[in-house]
Amino acid sequence: MPIIGCPNELITPDIWDMIELVKFYEKGLPPIAGGVLDQTNIFIQTANFVFSEESVWKAKLGIS
What is the structure's pLDDT at 60? 93
* Structural domain boundaries enclosing 64: 30-64
Would residue 61 count as lying in a domain? Answer: yes
CA quadruple 52, 19, 10, 12: dihedral sign: negative
Is 27 in a helix, a strand, or coil? coil
pLDDT score recorded for residue 62: 93
List the pLDDT tens digit at each of the 64 positions of the chain.
687 888 888 888 988 888 888 888 888 888 888 788 888 888 888 888 988 999 999 999 999 8
Number of domains in the chain: 1
Q: Is residue 58 part of a domain?
A: yes
**In-domain check, residue 1:** no
Q: Is residue 18 part of a domain?
A: no
d(CA 53, CA 23): 15
Run of H or E residues at 53: helix 41-61
**Cβ 24 vs Cβ 47: under 8 Å:** yes
Question: Within a domain: residue 51?
Answer: yes
pTM, 2 dp: 0.59
Specify if 43 maps to a domain. yes
Within a domain: 12? no
42 found inside a domain: yes
Closest CA relative to residue 23, chosen from 53, 48, 55: 48
